[in-house]
Structure 1
Amino acid sequence: MDTSSPVITAETANHVLFHFGCGGYQAGSFTTHLLSAFATADEQHFHRLAAAFPEYAAAVAAIQYDPHGVINLRAIARGEVAAEAAAPQCPEALLNPETGDIRRCVQRGRHDWHQTPSGTQWRVPVDGTIEVPF
């Protein structure tokens, strides 16, 4: 299973920025509907869409949950920074034991609570023995 961050292209960044009213340019009708699906999907459906369109999933997660997401996507759209430099940096993740899916934290910098792209939050206790989703 590949757990690396997908590369967000300038085109993807522009489409997502436009969809969320933050600049960029409009995508075609299929991609516009795809972005609407991502924006309204629950966690299970978000991950199903992400399996087929990982770059759009990463860009939507960035704009919805990363406090620096708009700034980073604008930099990608202008070609000023590679997607890898703007990707979420937190190494924490939740593992779904039934499916084997890994849901990475999308937050950047130091934080006490972690969050998946779909909004599930959890923390790792001080003793580090278990992860506590809520």
Structure 2
Amino acid sequence: MGMEFSELTQGRIDALTFILSLFSVFFTIVSAYIAALYFFLGIAPLPLRLLAFFVLSVSFLFLGAMSFTVSDIVEVLVMNWENANIPLTSQQAVRSWMAQVGSNFDFYYVGALLGWAVAFIVYLALAYLTFGYRWKQPETVSTTRTLSG
């Protein structure tokens, strides 16, 4: 028993919303980590850098697990979408083009592979910036106050 067109459409919208939410959380975590590296983590003692990188690794693992979950949902949507045999109208230019290219979400899979590759590269870059890059010590600003009186 297949899904109706409205259920399939809502499922695709929900999956897209979930994927965009994952990207948003990924971007937030990476941005916060980069800011932490710049402001204090780059010159922090090793135990603090290890703890911060451990927390970053756990958050990446969590996001990876969530992306596997949405991939399972998309697989079900793809299977049902192909079996739904939904007719195309002339006003659906994008959907018509997608049907010619392949309606089996090939673009989703390419995007997912690119997403995993980017996440892996970012993870390696953050590892290098945490443990390999030699951060310059910030210059201390000497402030002296004089009391006039």
TM range (shorter): under 0.3
Q: TM-score, normalised by structure 2?
A: 0.25
Structure with more contact order per residue of length (Cα contacts < 8 Å, sep ≥ 6): 2
Higher helix share: 2
Q: TM-score, normalised by structure 1?
A: 0.27
Q: Quick check: which has more Rg, 1 or 2? A: 2
Higher strand share: 1
